[in-house]
Structure 1
Amino acid sequence: MEDSNGGASHAVHISPEEVQRFCEFLYRRTGISFTEGKRYFIDRRLEDRIAATMSPSFQAYFSLLRADADHEIEHLINSFTVNETYFYREDHQLRCMTSSLLEVIASQKKPGGTVRIWSIPCSTGEEPYSIALWLMENWPQVDSYNVEIVGSDIDTRALRAAAEGIYGDRALMRLSRDLIGRYFRPMADGSHQIDEGLRNSIEFTRANLIDAKDMALYRDFDIIFCRNVLIYFDDVSRRQAAENLYDCLRPGGYICLGHSESMSRISPLFRVARFPDAIVYQRPEADHG
């Protein structure tokens, strides 16, 4: 067997009971719930981390993990997160942002006021950069307000890639040649790096959706994009994440979920907001109870 870097890794037997202990640990840390159907995925990544730390057994690795020696929890979480995305994904929500949401938000602010937008999880940066590009191309009032865009993720490796802003053809497949030519510079290996000004305009930070202390650092967002992550959580973690996100929105702010996710089935805190381009969810202007 080979590890994720192409080298040989030693085989370590992991019992069903040990897998369950590990999944419970990962769940408490991230809210991500893995079932027996993901056993191969779990085993492969666990074996890679056991080999990388040169642990002689699962028990030895698990002890190291719980002690967080050499920041192993961070390395483990990075290996278990999925960062599959591309520019202008689910662009109907981007259209909704500029045609409907920002019209409401801007009407409540003075020119020069701050509009805050959060992408969580932001993965390797395609979503927050898409938001910035879309605003520049499609919102005539973009220069009339101080727009702050924050991208956050639990995966520190993905955040480093986001800050670097280098992408291959697949990530850029939804962008026109004109957009790529104006906002990206070609690299020697055929990839493209996004404009330095755009890279500097977005703040990238680490955040854990189910960690109340982490989430308490983020407040007063007008729009939150939290797409295609809650499907990996169980009901308890989804509710916790929803409550944390609710606190991060200003009253009247909006949250956009993935196309297969419904806040109505997760939490009663939000109201459904229907617009021509998309259905989103809103923190009510006035909290009741």
Structure 2
Amino acid sequence: MSADDLKKVCEFLYRQTGMQFGENKRYYIERRVADRIAATHCPDFAAYFGQLRADAVERERLINAFTVNETYFYREEHQLACLSRSLLPDLITSRRPGDKIRIWSAPCSTGEEAYSIAIWLLENWRMVDAYNVEIVGSDIDTRALEAAHEGLYGERALSRLPPEVVNAYFEPSRRHRRQLINDLRESVTFTRANLVDGPSLTEQGVFDVIFCRNVLIYFDDASRLTAAKNLYDRLNPGGYLCLGHTESMSRISDRFLVRRFEDAVVFQRPGEAA
């Protein structure tokens, strides 16, 4: 790829996803673009880029090739503990039994993030049956979402779960992989969403808690600011945002309150004025 070709791909990915790539990722970029050129039988980069601009399916496939889906169950467990011990007890002070509580995992990767929330609440929040808890997992990678729907995981993804939890929520092992039981798979809704595309995110509705972990580190300052605004807009007043342990909303936007709980530091959309 020429320097101009590389620039075109990086600009395309930035516009579509907010993720920033450059010359320092040349080998990573070239490998993935070369795979897509071969898959589409295009004779060269120019022909492929022309197809990319005209073909929505191919745009989706190239984006899928660049997304990172490194995760496992009970990742950053301290935030799950904060959810059940602090965030939800705070939220339900203004709710009645039977009211809906919406939790969003974005990005959810191949499902481990969203399913971890469901399992954790079943195991650790005694009020889980008293409220209508809706969990939504979203990602920009359609292949990851297909894997999330299937709910089939290997030993590494399950390594942080206690054996009794694995046995309670997963089918017996087949070829070193275990599938989530059907009831749990049906309890989580999966949707495609792009954190830097505000208008499309309105379709997700608003949430009481959002987990958005380890994605803003791939954005530049402008994309982080856009994502922060979109996440703020997707939170109910008084709702909570959980970021990855290396991320801080305080360095991106001053619209959120910093809340320090026993288990974790999270960010809150201020409540409505009285």
What is the TM-score when the length of structure 1 is the normalising length?
0.93
Distance in 2, Cα, partners of 1:78 & 1:220: 26
Q: 1:27 aligns to what SS in structure 2?
A: helix
Alignment partners' CA distance in 2, 1:54 and 1:156:
22
SS at structure 2 position matched to 1:76: helix
Mind listing any 5+ residue stretches in structure 1 that lack a counterpart? 1-13
CA–CA distance in structure 2, aligned partners of residues 157 and 22 of structure 1: 20
Cα deviation, residue 221, structure 1:
0.4
Confirm whether residue 54 of structure 1 aligns to residue 41 of structure 2. yes
Aligned to 2:224: 238
Match for 2:93: what amino acid?
Answer: S
* Mapped pair 1:113 → 2:86: no
Deviation at 1:92, TM superposition (A): 0.3
1:46-195 superposed matches below 5 A: 46-68=33-55, 71-195=57-181
Residue of structure 1 in register with 2:202 after alignment: 216
Contact 1:85–1:126 (8 Å) recurs in 2: yes
CA distance in 2, matches of 1:23, 1:77: 11
What is the root-mean-square deviation of aligned Cα atoms in Å? 1.1
Q: Is the 8 A contact 1:219 1:247 kept in 2?
A: no
Q: Report the Cα offset of residue 175 of structure 1.
A: 0.6
Aligned with 2:22 (options 14, 35, 53): 35
Once the two structures are TM-superposed, the CA of residue 27 in structure 1 deviates from its matched residue by: 0.4
Q: Aligned-pair distance for 1:16?
A: 1.0
Match in the other structure for 1:252: 238
Specify the SS of the correspondent of 1:217. helix
TM-superposed deviation, 1:286: 2.6
Aligned partner of residue 186 in structure 1, secondary structure? coil
Write the letter of the residue equivalent to 2:113.
E
- Distance in 2, Cα, partners of 1:284 & 1:45: 42
Amino acid at match of 2:23: E
SS of the equivalent of 1:225 reads strand
* Counterpart-to-counterpart distance in 2, 1:141 and 1:286: 26
Identity %: 62
Per-residue deviation, 1:187: 3.9
Instruction: Give unmatched runs, 5+ long, in structure 2.
Output: none
Moved over 2 A (4+): none
The number of residue pairs the alignment matches comes to 274
Number of the residue aligned with 1:15: 2
Once residues 99 and 183 of structure 1 are traced to their aligned partners in structure 2, the CA distance between those partners, rounded to angstroms, is: 22
